[in-house]
């Protein structure tokens, strides 16, 4: 009998996906049989998103099509519940600075108490993306700055249309 596929989820708001996210996704995709990018549909933490969940998913799908084992789906429940529903044993997160660490440590403890069977795995951000965030990219685009090199070309164009002035 074939072993169960190793499935992991990568949760986040991805509003929009950045080259930092894509770096983590491509590095994680070689570690698992299947990588599911879980895109927050109704975030309770963050303010309203610039792009709809469908748009954010489209950006991710087109930027990861070459990887072959990655798909993006919306979710609006506890990450651990979603992981279990998908048959995932792991949650993969990217870690940038100390601030990410503090938040992730808290989330890790909470998730562990809710679901000790789902392990969280952290990949360190590549140095060139250590200070790259979706909110930073949106701020740059709002003031007409150049975001090419920080996000996929399609995303840079759409950001300019949505936020540029
Ligand atoms: P953001 O904080 O940019 O809004 P998300 O909420 O979409 O990002 O985060 C999804 C996941 O991607 C989180 O684990 C976050 O730490 C990680 N991540 C975000 N940006 C980067 C980056 N530049 N390098 C590595 N990981 C990142």
Task: Write the pLDDT tens digit of every residue in 46-96.
Answer: 568 999 999 999 999 999 999 999 999 999 999 999 999 999 999 999 999
CB within 8 A of 47, min separation 6: which ones?
Answer: none
pLDDT at 97: 86
User: Which tens digit of pLDDT belongs to each residue from 99-137?
Assistant: 899 999 999 999 999 999 999 999 999 999 999 999 999
pLDDT at 99: 83
35: confidence class by pLDDT, cuts 50, 70, 90: very high
pLDDT at 108: 95
Q: What is the 3-state secondary structure (H, E, C) of the chain?
A: CCCCCCEEEEEECCCCCCHHHHHHHHHHHCCCCEEEEEEECCCCCCCCCCCCHHHHHHHHHHHHHHHCCEEEEEECCCHHHHHHHCCCCEEEEEECCHHHHHHHHHHHHHHHHHCCCCEEEEEECCHHHCCCCHHHHHHHHHCCCCCECCECHHHHHHHHHHHCC
Cβ of 29 closer than 6 Å to ligand 1, yes or no, is no
pLDDT at 43: 56
Cβ of 100 closer than 6 Å to ligand 1, yes or no, is yes
pLDDT at 163: 93
Determine the Cα–Cα distance for residues 25 and 92; give it in Å rounded to an integer.
9
CA of 2 to the centre of ligand 1 (A): 34
Is there a binding annotation on residue 145?
Answer: no
Cβ of 138 closer than 6 Å to ligand 1, yes or no, is no
pLDDT of 44 higher than 70: no
- Minimum CA distance residue for ligand 1 atom 16: 94
Give the ligand 1 atom nearest the CA of 93.
Answer: 14
What percent of the chain clears pLDDT 90, i.e. is strictly above it? Answer: 90
pLDDT of 159 higher than 80: yes
Determine the Cα–Cα distance for residues 85 and 146; give it in Å rounded to an integer.
40
Cβ of 94 closer than 6 Å to ligand 1, yes or no, is yes
Determine the Cα–Cα distance for residues 133 and 14; give it in Å rounded to an integer.
9
**pLDDT top residue among 43 and 125:** 125
Burial 36-68 (b: 16+ CB within 10 A, else e): bbbbbbeeeeeeebbbebebbbbbbeebbeeee
pLDDT at 66: 98
pLDDT of 25 higher than 80: yes
Pocket probe for ligand 1: among 24, 44, 135, the residue whose CB has the most ligand atoms within 8 Å is: 24
């Amino acid at each position: 009998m074939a072993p169960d596929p190793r499935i992991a989820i990568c949760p986040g708001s991805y509003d929009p996906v950045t080259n930092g996210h894509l770096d983590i996704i491509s590095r994680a995709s070689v570690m698992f049989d299947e990588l599911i990018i879980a895109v927050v549909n109704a975030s309770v933490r963050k303010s309203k998103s610039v792009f709809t969940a469908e748009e954010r998913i489209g950006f991710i799908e087109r930027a990861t099509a070459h990887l072959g084992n990655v798909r993006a789906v919306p979710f609006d429940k506890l990450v651990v519940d979603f992981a279990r529903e998908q048959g995932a044993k792991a949650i993969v997160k990217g870690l940038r600075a100390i601030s990410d660490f503090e938040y992730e440590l808290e989330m890790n403890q909470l998730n562990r108490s809710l679901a000790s069977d789902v392990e969280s795995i952290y990949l360190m951000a590549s140095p060139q993306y250590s200070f790259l965030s979706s909110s930073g990219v949106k701020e740059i685009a709002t003031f007409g700055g150049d975001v090419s090199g920080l996000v996929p070309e399609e995303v840079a164009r759409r950001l300019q249309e949505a936020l540029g002035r």
